[in-house]
Structure 1
Amino acid sequence: MMLPKFRKIDIQSYKPGKSKISRIHNAIKLSANESALGTSKRVFRILNKKIKINKYPDNNSKNLRKQISKKYSCEFEKIICGAGSDEIIQIICQLFLNSKDEVIVPRYSFLMYRIYSKIIGAKIKFSDEENFKVSIKEILKNVTSRTKIVFIANPNNPTGTYLKKEELILLRKKLNQKILLVIDDAYNEYIKKKDYISGLKLFKKSNNVIILRTFSKIYGLASLRIGWGYGPKRIVKEMYKIKAPFNVSSTAQLAAIESLKDERFVNKSFKHNLFWGKKIRNLLNSYKIHTNEINTNFFLLNFKNCKYSANFIKKKLENKGIILRSMNTYNIQNCLRLTVGNKSENIKLINTLKLIFK
């Protein structure tokens, strides 16, 4: 029997970090940049109420978009919600790209930018980074007449570095106005630096910038798959035409609404991340493991000057039931990514590292 002809796609599929260790129950997962403090209690209270799971959800997430609009003082019509910000990336690629187009992404950046672009058939051009920081100069060097989209996350995953306000302004100014700039604000809630500004605040009124936001990080809704995008009204209107129907579940919409109302939880999560981030970073630096500053809820650990390799430490930690993220899929050599955990997880990590380096 003949197999119907299908298109072969030359991409490496997304490989999530390890989440389990054989023979070890209740392993500590510090590999996925998930919320250290879990989820707001407001979410559990709303989810305990009756949800009619036999009914389709609101197709356009109207109540959630109203809450987003209220919280961030932005326009309702410019908001689109998705099954994670991943879906918004996918819709952007479907709407803007053809097989002859080019997309620029930093060499070390969230893998879904390149994956969804390549599925369409676009050519990916990687801009080099300087000391693991996105370089405006290198992005601009890669621009051609075929460049259609530039994707950046700020702060960046997996490097944990960020672009300053003036650097973002310069990038948008230097790019051709016809090139779409997509700024991923996924880790925005974890950074409070004087020279930082979120993409949403900076480009709220722009006609050629789309902003991505997620509920998977500080809000702790990773398993519900919920995110949103914000962009020019005419572009968002077209995005709705190709959005899948009922793409965000009723549970996810309700949980996201309640999460946005709980500023106390977000502030507590920020303070927790800063407190434990400082402790962990100081310890790592004492072992000559170089890291980014505390701009996110994770660290990129560089073992270049350490007496042990990244692979050695990864195996030692896994033997004790602690999982870090390998950077092999990002082609970053001799590095690991570490998520800041809850109090007990961080204490176990610190004590285990002290034993390894004793």
Structure 2
Amino acid sequence: MEPRICREGILKLKPYIPGKPIEEVEREYGVKDIIKLASNENPLGPSPKAVEAMNKMAPNVGLYPDGSCYALRNAVAEKLGVKPDNLTFGAGSDEVIHVIALALLERGDEVISCDPTFVQYETAAVLCECPYHKVPLKNHTYDLEGIAERLNSRTKLVFIANPNNPTGTMVTHSEVERLLSHMPERAVLVLDEAYYEYNERSDYPKSVEWVLEGRNVIVLRTFSKIYGLAGLRVGYGIARPDIIGYLEQVRQPFNVSSIGQAAALASIEDAEHVERSRALNSEGRRYLYCEFDRLGLPYAPSEANFVWVDLREDSVKVFKELLRRGVIIRTGDIFGMPTWARVTIGKPEENERFIKTLEEVLALFSS
């Protein structure tokens, strides 16, 4: 037997499996005109202003980017009503998750979240050799009372995806406030708000206020979702200046590209594009709800740009049949829910094609 050369914790991790890219489906199945409803991307893509900013920045990519993200940092600070030293930036909020773990976790600390949820929380904990505790979701939603029961003096980080990925459900301001009242003094609550801009409820947590109050809270947001910049990898964290200082000591220099910074800056200045994206998503979500009701398929109420739906069949088998017909979704087996699937909300014509194709595929299994 060959000696192990990797860290022991690595062996406990399953590699992240992303949604299938369109090019791969074209190669494997020989189909064209593919629609991808698997990775929660904005079907409108980036703002035209962001595209213009990228083109203007392109000749300068031979130079290192601004390591401090000065212009973007100040613009985001003004938009949120915080100070620039309340912010840190990363190559997507994924990177900020790992920076948080590297900066704050020590051996013996414990991390808590729910299951199923975004896999990077567990990955970050395991890489820091810290126990990761999973509390099952309740009705597809984070069970904050269950998390509160698992808190102890060793708890250092609690991750909450709000809305949750893959279920799209959210927890309210008062529910999170109750959890905060039970948190140990040294513990930090990380609120991952990647889908924040799609939320339409008045009881959504006012998380930035907790930061401004000096609470042990870190808020994560991203330009990958409603801003349509998933391919550029730009995300950020919001926290007290002292916490940001710890993260900045760990963060890699030049981690956000110059094109990414330029596109993100232009994106937050294009409120109309955000509103168009939000309106399109709301319309598409209502359509999918109606169609799932008609088909008798249960689903979770979503505050994101996707819907978590029970196909009542093996989702992998349904997935493969959909692929043959040029439709990509995300199966629930990787989340421990083998009949469920996550479907990104697309343009009207994409949503309609998905439903029509899904009906054809489900008919195969019922015949």
Verify same fold: TM over 0.5: yes
Aligned partner of 1:348 in structure 2 is 353
Q: SS at 1:225's partner residue?
A: coil
Structure 1 distance, partners of 2:206, 2:196, is 6
Q: Where does structure 2 lack aligned partners over 5 or more consecutive residues?
A: none
Q: SS at 1:92's partner residue?
A: helix
Q: How many residues align?
A: 354
Aligned partner of 2:318 in structure 1 is 313
User: Stretches of 4+ moved more than 3 A in 1?
Assistant: 2-6, 201-204, 354-358
2:295 partner letter:
Y
Aligned partner of 1:176 in structure 2 is 184
Residues 329 and 353 (structure 1 numbering): CA distance in 2 closer, same or farther, change over 3 Å? closer
Kept in 2, the 8 Å contact 1:185–1:199? The answer is no
Structure 2 distance, partners of 1:241, 1:203, is 20
Q: Of 112, 123, 141, which residue of structure 1 is paired with 2:120?
A: 112
Q: SS at 2:185's partner residue?
A: coil
Structure 2 distance, partners of 1:120, 1:46, is 38
Q: SS at 1:347's partner residue?
A: helix
Q: Of 232, 247, 250, which residue of structure 2 is paired with 1:242?
A: 250
Question: What is the root-mean-square deviation in Å for CA atoms of aligned residues?
Answer: 1.8
**Structure 1 residue 175 displacement after superposition:** 1.3
Residues 5 and 321 (structure 1 numbering): CA distance in 2 closer, same or farther, change over 3 Å? closer
Structure 1 distance, partners of 2:362, 2:62, is 55
Residues 124 and 357 (structure 1 numbering): CA distance in 2 closer, same or farther, change over 3 Å? closer
Does the alignment pair 1:32 with 2:34?
no
Residues 78 and 277 (structure 1 numbering): CA distance in 2 closer, same or farther, change over 3 Å? same
Kept in 2, the 8 Å contact 1:28–1:321? The answer is yes
Q: Of 154, 165, 174, which residue of structure 2 is paired with 1:166?
A: 174
Q: Of 129, 137, 146, which residue of structure 1 is paired with 2:154?
A: 146
Q: Of 112, 124, 143, which residue of structure 2 is paired with 1:135?
A: 143
Q: TM-score, normalised by structure 2?
A: 0.92
2:65 partner letter:
P
Q: Which moved more, 1:329-338 or 1:68-77?
A: 329-338
Q: SS at 2:231's partner residue?
A: helix
Task: Please list the CA deviations of residues 258-288 of structure 1 after superposition, one character each: whole Å capped at 9, or x if unmatched.
Answer: 0000110111111100111111111112222
Structure 2 distance, partners of 1:311, 1:286, is 22
Does the alignment pair 1:223 with 2:231?
yes
Q: TM-score, normalised by structure 1?
A: 0.94
Residues 206 and 291 (structure 1 numbering): CA distance in 2 closer, same or farther, change over 3 Å? farther
Correspondence list, 1:318-333, <5 A:
318-333=323-338
Q: Report the structure, 1 or 2, having the larger helix content.
A: 2
**Structure 1 residue 203 displacement after superposition:** 3.8
Percent identity of equivalent pairs: 32
Kept in 1, the 8 Å contact 2:174–2:205? The answer is no
Structure 2 distance, partners of 1:229, 1:154, is 14
Kept in 2, the 8 Å contact 1:13–1:115? The answer is no
**Structure 1 residue 26 displacement after superposition:** 3.9
Structure 2 distance, partners of 1:34, 1:200, is 25
